Amino acid sequence: MTTENMISLEGIAFGYDKHKPLFVNLRLNLQPGHIYGLLGKNGAGKSSLLRLMAGLLFPHSGRVEVNGYEPKRRSPAFLQDVFFVPEEIYLPSVTVDRYAATLEPFYPRFDESEFLRYLAEFDIPGGNKLTGMSFGQKKKVLIAFALATNTKVLIMDEPTNGLDIPSKSQFRKIVSTALRPDRLMLISTHQVRDLDNLIDHIIIMDDSRIVMQHSLDAVAERLYFGTRPTVENDTQVLYAEPSLRGYDAVTENLEREESRVDLEQLFNAVMKNPGRIREMFG
């Protein structure tokens, strides 16, 4: 792994059934200082990819390196600098305070003041018992703790599942303030809108393959997101959907116009025209 890559996957082969491989020669390199959004349909392989990075699944061949370590070896130096928030969570029957006090010794850079601040922003009292909380409240406790560990790598699988609309807004605000130049965050979701105004890089998976991995700046340079009165016989249109003003469309940005990337429309454009997208982005 080069020094600029914090997460590197090279030639990964993996599958739950040896006769049905999930990943074949999968490659991916991620750098610190970014919040990556991992998008894909259910069953695209997102959760399996995250678990390979976290050392919870082992590749059949190829090499995974995270922050200079092989996750499958589960070394203490690796574990203290990586935190994984799974989609399904199971928390013990203790108070929030006791939960944090029990786990914080495993994370040398854990910041209690940050943890309490995140809890306050999520409106979660520290003395409450975890088992008496709703699923959404438990999720917020785990996200607050994950951010406060200050691990260099933070991986979250469907973190906004169970959160109401105000909590999703809080999530975006809190996560964006927790990024540092030496920290990498990777967030997987199928609720595309939940990552609006949060991520700066996008990874899209389809059928266990990575079909796009680029910065949003690169996406905005090559694609234009806007409204058109009609899209009939328009060869530049990659995806369009009816709107009150005509059609909201994703088109090739031949004029290099500025537009705001719409993640949901981008995802739909990639799903509809994966070959053309790969050709445009190389």
The pLDDT of residue 126: 79
Q: What is the mean pLDDT of the chain?
A: 94
Nearest alpha-carbon partner for 190 in 36, 37, 35, 39:
39
Each residue of 115-142: pLDDT tens digit? 999 999 999 987 889 999 999 999 999 9
CA dist 31 and 8 (Å) reads 9
pLDDT digits (tens, 9 = 90+) for 186-232: 999 988 999 999 999 999 999 889 999 999 999 999 999 999 999 88
Give the whole-number percent of the chain exceeding pLDDT 90: 84
CA distance 67 to 32: 9
* CATH superfamily, domain at 7-207: P-loop containing nucleotide triphosphate hydrolases (3.40.50.300)
The Cα-based distances of 219 to 127, 251, 252, 280, 281 in angstroms read 45, 11, 10, 10, 8
DSSP per-residue codes, 253-280: -TT-------HHHHHHHHHH-HHHHHHH
The 3-state DSSP class for residue 81 equals coil
Of the candidates 182, 183, 99, which has an alpha carbon nearest to the alpha carbon of residue 147? 183
Residue 11: DSSP 8-state: E
Containing H/E element for 273?
Answer: none
Read off the pLDDT of each residue in 176-188 and give the average, rounded to a whole number: 96
d(CA 165, CA 151): 27
CB 204 within 8 A of CB 270: yes
Write down the pTM of the prediction.
Answer: 0.94
In DSSP terms, 250 is beta-bridged to 225, 239
**The pLDDT of residue 32 is above 90:** yes
Render pLDDT for 239-260 as a digit per residue (tens, 0 to 9). Answer: 999 999 899 999 999 989 999 9
Query: Which phi and psi angles does 12 have, rounded to 5°?
Result: -75, 130
124 CB burial (10 A radius; 0-12, 13-18, 19+): middle
CB-based burial label for 80 (10 Å; 0-12, 13-18, 19+): middle
Q: How far apart are CA 261 and CA 278, in angstroms?
A: 17
Q: Judge contact between 37 and 199, C-beta under 8 A.
A: yes
* Parts of the chain belonging to CATH 3.40.50.300: 7-207
pLDDT digits (tens, 9 = 90+) for 9-24: 999 999 998 788 999 9
What's the pLDDT score for residue 45? 92
Confidence at residue 190, expressed as pLDDT on a 0 to 100 scale: 87
pLDDT digits (tens, 9 = 90+) for 101-110: 999 999 999 9
pLDDT at residue 1, as a whole number = 39
